[in-house]
Structure formats: structure tokens, C-alpha cells
Amino acid sequence: MRAKVAEHATLFYQDGAVVWDDYLHHRQFAISETAELLCRKFAGFTDVDELLAPLAEADRAALRKVVDELLEAGVLIVEGSPEHDEERRLLDGWHAWGASARHFHFASRTLADAPYQASDEHDAALDAKLPVEPPPTPFRSLGGVAVQLPPVPDEPDWAGAGLYDVLLARRTTREFGPSPVPLARLGELLGVLAGPSPARSRIGRSGTVFKTSPSGGGRHPVELYAHASRVDGLEPGWYHYDGLAHALEPIGVTWGPDEMAAAAGDQDWVGRAPVVLAYTGLLERTRWRYDTSRAYRVVQMDVGHLSQTAYLVATALGFGIGFTAALRDEAVEHALGCDAYHEVVLGMSALGPLPE
């Protein structure tokens, strides 16, 4: 019999124990030091009898018992077994993206018997949580002097374009004209994207808020930052958008075209844009309501919703826009002052006037 360590799991250390994390079947359990060391002998398919043959009888019997336990637990899989076939299907589909991607996907994938709370049970649990652990604020201000933006008109002149026409006109633009972006137009874009919805502006007790894009549980974890290179009435540099105050807060960092392009995976077109929006995710907002790993998927979905709204509003305003997720996260984090453990970089939109 030939066996090897299953490749649909990882090992990690927790509270002094070595934990086997079978993310494919959602099982975790501690394994002994002997078992951990023995697994190293089975990195590839290895004949069990041949491996143990040189040992003294007592040692051979003791280790064979550990091998049998590992086989029963699914830590080791037998060549040609149904478990081996299942693993081959997994690796065929996911090998190109590496172990971390398949770990994230399958660890956050729900199985058929996954328990879900009814909505009234979930609401009751949140009500009990409120006095003990208040929710994070849905809007954030950095403090200090900010640039107050002109208010978004009740009936913007660009809002008359039909939705279907805007959808058909939407394109990813990687070339921009030389004209600067008017500050009022940038303010309208940011206000529509990240300000509270004028139709339902109330902030709920649990920190839920309505905006123009959907968000899981109304948590809206995505924060908006803007880098102005050519904006009338605005000094160049990075700003944080305070959606509640409708103001831009200077961060004190200014990038040139080369720095911006480098942060965007060496994409020169991003460096040439008059305005670049950076999207980050404040994980605590979503985590407060949803404490399962699957909620991290929801944060990724949220930036997709928001960036599509940016596409549509920018198109209606007559701007060109393009989104990219090919970023050097660390460079963006350093510029924005993000703590990568709590506020994660999600993507960028570059926008400006259409080329003439």
C-alpha cells in the first residue's frame, strides 16, 4: 500500500498544539509530534511496509499504529482510493492559483449541512451584542483640516441620461484627456458613491447605513481615498473621503505618475489619470455582524458593487474610467496609512476626461 499526505489541508500551531486543518471537509484537530514527523516521510506516495521494514518490531508496530490512525483521519490518503481521486480533481482545478487560493475558497465554502440562523435569531443576537460590543461607525473621519466639497445637487444635470444608455456607453478607459477634473464633479462622484443615500440617510442602531451600492448587511466596509493629480481647486495628493461630512481629508502624501504606476502593477495609464480612487476594506464593520470566514467573500463582493457604480456615475458625468486590482498592496498601504491587519487594499479606479 502506498500513501501520502493529503494536499487539501494545512498545518498550523495554536495554543501549543499542531492543528491539522482539512479545509476541503471543514475539519480541524490536533496531531501529535510523532504524527507530524511521520507525515514528512509521506510527502509523496510511499510504500508503508517498505518505509517501516528497517525498524525493530516494537517500533514498527508503534509507528504502524500511528500510520493507521492518520489513514483513518484522512491525513494520509491511499494511492488509487476515492480520496485520491477527489484530491486529483481538486488539484486539477486549482493548482494554477496555488495553495493559498484554494485554501481560502474551500475554507469559506459552505457545505450542505452548514447551519444558518433565522433572521429573527440573528437580530436578537445582535441586539444582545450592542451594549457589550458597540458596532464600528459606518463613516470615518481622520480629523484635522478638510476640504469641504460642494453639495451634491438634488437633481444633477448629468442624471438625465437613461440607465440603459449609460450601461451601453460604459467602457474601461485607459487614455485620458489633458483637461483637469472640476472639483464639483469629483465631489458629486464621491458623494453618490460613498455618502449616505439621500433617500434613506438614517444610520441604524447597529451601524447599518444605506448607500447607492448594495453591501452585505448594510455594513459598507469599503472606504474611499482619492489621489488628485489634476483637479481644479485641489492641491495634488492623497485624500480620504469623509462620506458623512462630504469632505476630503488630506493625508499628506503626493505621488507622481511613476509612483502611481508602480503601485498599480506598473500600469502607466493609471499613473497618467487626473484622479485615482483607492478602495480599502475596514473588516471590523462586516465582522461585527458576520463572524464567519465566509464574510470575507462579502467584502470582496462589496468593492465589485461599488466600483461598478463608479463606472456608471463616471460614464454619466462624461468621464472615462477603468478599474484595476493588479496592485502592490504594501505601497498603497504605506501611502494611505492603512493597517493591513484591519484595513485591506481592494482595488483602484482611475478616471478623467475622455481623450479629445
Domains and CATH numbers, the chain: 2-107 (3.90.930), 143-353 (3.40.109.10)
Q: What is the DSSP string of 216-262?
A: GGG---EEEEEEESSEETS-SEEEEEETTTTEEEE-S----HHHHHH
pLDDT (average), residues 185-213: 93
Contact 140, 245 (CB under 8 A): no
Distance between first and last Cα of the chain: 71
Residue 235 CB neighbour total at 10 angstroms: 10
CA–CA distance, 28 with 105 (Å, rounded to integer)? 16
| Residue 156: all three cell numbers together | 444633477
Alpha helices (H) in 140-230, listed in sequence order: 163-169, 183-194
Q: How confident is the model at residue 194 (pLDDT cuts 50, 70, 90)?
A: very high
What type of residue is 224?
L
Contact 274, 352 (CB under 8 A): yes
At 202 the pLDDT is 87
pLDDT (average), residues 218-229: 97
At 8 the pLDDT is 94
Summary mean pLDDT of the chain: 95
- Convert the pLDDT of each residue in 22-31 to its tens digit: 999 999 999 9
At 200 the pLDDT is 87
User: Given a cut of 90, is residue 67 above it in pLDDT?
Assistant: yes
Q: How confident is the model at residue 296 (pLDDT cuts 50, 70, 90)?
A: very high
Short-list 281, 286, 294, CA closest to 206 = 286
SS3 call for 78: strand
Residue 51 CB neighbour total at 10 angstroms: 18
User: Given a cut of 90, is residue 245 above it in pLDDT?
Assistant: yes
Evaluate the CA torsion angle 116, 117, 123, 129 in order and state its sign: negative
CA–CA distance, 243 with 223 (Å, rounded to integer)? 9
- Convert the pLDDT of each residue in 82-141 to its tens digit: 999 999 999 999 999 999 999 999 999 999 998 998 999 999 999 999 999 999 999 999
